[in-house]
Amino acid sequence: MPTERFAPYSATNIRYMSRAKRPGLAADIVRDGQVVAHIVIPDDEPGVEHDFTTVAASYYFDRHLASLPATFFDETLMDDDTVRACFLIDLVDATLDESMDDVRRRWVSPKHRGRM
């Protein structure tokens, strides 16, 4: 899934916090070069913990979600919290997929390097 789909938002500083009080994946959500939210996707429960940096950032994020077409998500979502969580999870997932593709392009399998 391409990350352009989530414009103007992107996920940066994605890291896995294995030694945290609640292990999980953490990331910063960026809009127009500014960090607008810090999120954590915990291992032990479904959902996303998010902390917007300003009230305006939260407002513009919710307004962006409201403007998305109904076909943006594969599944039918029930409420605003679910839409927000699915958007953030899909954004982080797409960013990880894209970065993995970049790693795959740079990495050459030992089978293709010559004799083993």
| Mean pLDDT (whole number) for 49-71 | 93
Rounded Cα distance between 40 and 69, Å, is: 26
Rounded to 10 degrees, what is the CA torsion of 8, 67, 92, 80?
140
Which of 26-35, 61-70, 102-111 is predicted with the least confidence, judged by mean pLDDT?
102-111
Own/partner long-range contacts of 23-31 (Cβ < 8 Å, ≥24 apart) = 25/92, 27/92, 27/95, 29/61, 29/88, 29/91, 31/57, 31/60, 31/61
Rounded Cα distance between 16 and 12, Å, is: 12
Rounded Cα distance between 14 and 110, Å, is: 28
* Burial tier of 42 (Cβ tally within 10 Å: 0-12, 13-18, 19+): middle
The string of pLDDT tens digits covering residues 80-92 is 888 888 899 889 8
pLDDT at position 114, please? Answer: 52
